[in-house]
Chains A and B, each alone.
With several copies, the nearest count.
Chain A
Amino acid sequence: MNPLDIEAIRKDFPILQREIHPGKQLVYLDSAATAQKPTRVIEAMDRYYRWSNANIHRGVHVLAEEATMLYEDARRNVAGFIGARDAREIIFTRNTTEAINLVAYSWGRANLQAGDVIILTEMEHHSNLVPWQMLAQERQVRLEFIPVTDDGLLDMEEYQKLLMLAPKLVAFTQMSNVLGTINPAGEIIRLAHDAGAITLVDGAQSVPHIPVNVVDLDVDFLAFSAHKMCGPMGSGVLYGKTALLEKMPPFLGGGDMIRKVMLRSYAPNSIPHKFEAGTPAVAEAVGLSAAVDYLNSIGMDAIAAHEHEIVSYALEQLNQIPGVRILGPDADRKGGVVSFTLDIAHPHDVAQILYRHGIAVRAGHHCAMPLHDRYQIPATTRASFYIYSTREEVDHLVQGLEQVKAIFG
């Protein structure tokens, strides 16, 4: 596997050319929040609106047929990207959050009763916590959590004990957006299945950054967002196994998700349409499909390897700065995310001063408050990497932190 041609890749992303302050080019280290978009993704949507825009599925004119074809091609393309056997297993949503809520509302309300157990983890993003809390409250379902160890790994022994509660569902993130930890998804899923549970993987951070294959994982539901994988906002995906999706009741009601409507009742459409009510985000699906093509053209293995190299270098450099405390495991167990604290300055101040140097990082709880509570810190500063990240950018980060220390020291 050849290393990436980063110079060439960076030219694909117009925003990386932006000067944030005179002479200070953008150093974008916030890809875990949202990834930047390559020209080909932007242009695919632009072309769609200038040339093919129409509402889909019910039109006989060429625009409607083109739009329908583009939309369904995007579905097939996404299915291929995650190794799904059948494009009908791909449901387009707004984002990861909506995808998880869809499962909580449709599968959850149809299958869970008072006293049933759901296993989550202490490192979940709010998107994979709150929907289950809402369900738990409504249905007296019990939530249990796989603990996180001091070095940011899931405690697999505790997990095995929790499985003795005969959970109905195990829902967890494949990669933490704070710790960077890449969890052993295959093993977690196998153990869950052995215990009779079904599984949901929050792939918001994993699908953009490492190869993910739903058949190899044998996962039941996988949720992810286009905007974190070089695709547009307003587009997300729920993968679900056919057998599960077919048995689930609809979630949102409206146009396209029906087969027949009478005044007082309706018959639902077949999957995936059953779960896509109303006019879908066609341009966004087209953009996501272009993003998939872009990532495929580089190769997910090469992307993962590149990020591993950058994150290793970043850990090495940051560990040399006195007062820096890094959360999460070492580079071999994590993706391109480094969250840290600095003893003498608050994360918000760190981020603000870095930004003076054109460096965009994020500070706060990163939508993972319980995880921060676990480490008893209110907030961290987070640098996160992607295909276009370079060692020089890590060096800028380190220099920026020296500035912070100079101001607060």
Chain B
Amino acid sequence: MDDLYREVIIEHYKNPGFRGELDPHDISFEDENPLCGDHIRIDLRVNENEVVTEAAFSGHGCAISQASADLLLEFIIGKTLDEIRQLTKDDLLELLGIELGPVRLKCALLSLKVLKAGVYGLGEASDSLVEGD
């Protein structure tokens, strides 16, 4: 049996460390997964060296999408924007530590997609930001 709902996921879902909004922020982006209605907004504050100092997410959705956002923000604190641009699908899946079918993969990747679209300053979040391996 898969361990999609291993404790760390449930823990981050029920008691997220980074839920909230940052106002003012340096970077903010939001998007949703039309398939299931999962919605994520991410706000970042970065210092003059482009290092992320603070991060928060808001929105709603399934445990996978919300826990993934929380784990992701925990991971990027102290990273540079350039390092964030290099993040891949595999990095995120490693953070989550689970295997996902194609439908739930979209839930997991939503936060990474939103994050990268924000960091790249794009008008629209594209699947190609998190695909391609």
Contact = CB atoms under 8 A, between A and B. Distances in A.
Interface string B1-16: 1101100001000100
B1 A379 contact: no
B12 to A, nearest CB: 13
Contacts of B25: none
A348 B64 contact: yes
A346 B104 CA distance: 13
Contacts of B102: 65, 68-69
A356 B1 CA distance: 7
Contacts of B104: 60, 348, 352
Interface stretch (B34-42, B73-81, B83-91): B34-42
Given A21-B1, A260-B34, A349 B64 contact: yes
A347 B65 CA distance: 13
B103 A68 contact: yes
Nearest to B63: A349
Contact of B60 (A353, A363, A378): A378
B107 interface: yes
A59 interface: yes
Interface in B29-56: 34-38
B119 to A, nearest CB: 22
A345 interface: yes
**A interface, by DSSP: helix, strand, loop or mixed?**
mixed
A49 B102 CA distance: 21
A227 B10 CA distance: 37
B3 to A, nearest CB: 10
B123 interface: no
Contacts of A379: 36-37
B24 interface: no
Given A269-B34, A346-B63, A353 B5 contact: yes
A369 to B, nearest CB: 8
B114 to A, nearest CB: 16
Contacts of A345: 63
Contact of A378 (B10, B37, B101, B103): B37
Interface in B101-133: 101-104, 107
Interface string A252-267: 0000001110000000
B63 A58 contact: no
A59 B38 CA distance: 15
For chain B, the bracket of interface size reads 20 to 34
A365 interface: yes
A403 to B, nearest CB: 10
A347 B60 CA distance: 12
Contacts of B2: 356
Given A378-B37, A379-B36, A379-B37, A348 B5 contact: no
Contacts of A356: 1-2, 4
Nearest to B34: A259
B101 A364 contact: no
B71 to A, nearest CB: 16
Contacts of B103: 57-60, 64-65, 68
A1 interface: no
A365 B1 CA distance: 27
Given A21-B1, A352-B4, A407-B5, A58 B64 contact: no
Nearest to B5: A407
B35 A407 contact: no
B96 interface: no
A63 to B, nearest CB: 11
A21 B1 CA distance: 8
Interface string A231-265: 00000000000000000000000000011100000
Given A258-B34, A407-B5, 9 more contacts: A58-B35, A59-B103, A68-B102, A345-B63, A346-B62, A348-B104, A349-B5, A356-B2, A379-B36
29 contacts: A21-B1, A57-B103, A59-B103, A60-B101, A65-B102, A65-B103, A68-B102, A69-B102, A345-B63, A347-B62, A348-B38, A348-B104, A349-B62, A349-B63, A349-B64, A352-B4, A352-B5, A352-B62, A353-B5, A356-B2, A356-B4, A363-B36, A364-B36, A364-B37, A365-B37, A378-B36, A408-B10, A408-B14, A408-B63
Interface of A: 21, 57-60, 62, 64-65, 68-69, 258-260, 269, 345-349, 352-353, 356, 363-365, 378-379, 407-408
Top 6 A-B residue pairs of the complex, sorted by shortest distance between their CB atoms:
A378-B37, A348-B62, A346-B62, A65-B101, A259-B34, A349-B63
